[in-house]
Structure 1
């Protein structure tokens, strides 16, 4: 989500150079304008969509805004069709698919099975949660200390996918304690 700044912090930084000040002012105005347009689009999308009760609960998750919440809600369909959280995570392509025999990789499995839009959405959710939510960032950093960046990102996305399953199934808000305990 883009936040509109009330105070102009750009002008004092570029006060010595008139051209830079103008460029900064124009850039800020453009960002503010685009932010307003995004809000209009999000509002209209919400109004034209039949929202399920789980949608408002999904918005309580870190990293989930209007567009990602709508994407998750609409692409998931009825959550009852998934028996377990693992089935939902697999459908969202957030579970590794490797065939290993005798310690050797024998294949990749069905890596293209599942919903590519949910895979994208939860990858974005993980990135926004890592950036803007302290508990998510802390969990990500602990995982990053033991592995590489891509593994930590995928693990956070998988964890948030499982949380979304329970949020949609139970109709409850996101709980940091349950997710990152």
Structure 2
């Protein structure tokens, strides 16, 4: 490219910074992967369709010990996979505390739902059934909620993912 001398210098400086940061990120990711792969929960989470290395790492590190959650509903709520509503006498009063919970777990389960739709026929069928009644955003969130509940039970019982138990 025939760029002015100052612009070419700035581009070379930016490329050098990107190269250095990429090398440092690779070192950190390698170290993180070495530490997380020895974790028993990591191996269980990778059995879920849609959850690979990156999402399993995020879920393991952001969840901590699963024993701190009393039920699957509490875990799904912490992962922001449920609606935040205030009810009184069967009537909706408002939506409060929408930012309570862990945004990284929310992201991880939404991404897992997106991938699960591609890799699991049962997940895709569940999504399509929900989407026919509501819309695609609500259906995707419902699938993320289902995966969050499944992950809670897997981690609590130390058993791998069972598609029949999840989508039956």
Per the normalisation by structure 1, the TM-score is 0.73
Q: Are the equivalent residues in 2 in contact too, given 1:42–1:66 (CA < 8 A)?
A: no
Q: Tell me if 1:108 matches 2:95.
A: yes
Cross-structure match for 1:95: 82
In structure 1, distance between residues paired with 2:78 and 2:155: 15
Of residues 154, 158, 163, the one that matches 1:171 is 158
In structure 1, distance between residues paired with 2:82 and 2:28: 32
Aligned length: 144
Cross-structure match for 1:10: none
Of residues 125, 142, 146, the one that matches 2:129 is 142
Give the CA RMSD over aligned residues: 2.2
Give CA-to-partner distance per residue, 1:112-162, whole Å, 9 cap, x none. 111111011001001110122111001111111111111111100000000
Could you say what secondary structure the match of 2:80 adopts?
A: coil
Q: Are the equivalent residues in 1 in contact too, given 2:122–2:163 (CA < 8 A)?
A: yes
Q: Tell me if 1:83 matches 2:81.
A: no
Cross-structure match for 2:4: none
Give CA-to-partner distance per residue, 1:47-92, whole Å, 9 cap, x none. 1337321210100001000010010011000100001000000000
Q: Are the equivalent residues in 2 in contact too, given 1:42–1:67 (CA < 8 A)?
A: no
Listed as ranges, the gaps of 5+ residues in structure 2 are 1-25
In structure 2, distance between residues paired with 1:41 and 1:64: 21
CA change 1:103–1:83 in 2 (3 A) is: closer
In structure 1, distance between residues paired with 2:30 and 2:117: 26
Listed as ranges, the gaps of 5+ residues in structure 1 are 1-38
Q: Are the equivalent residues in 2 in contact too, given 1:75–1:117 (CA < 8 A)?
A: yes
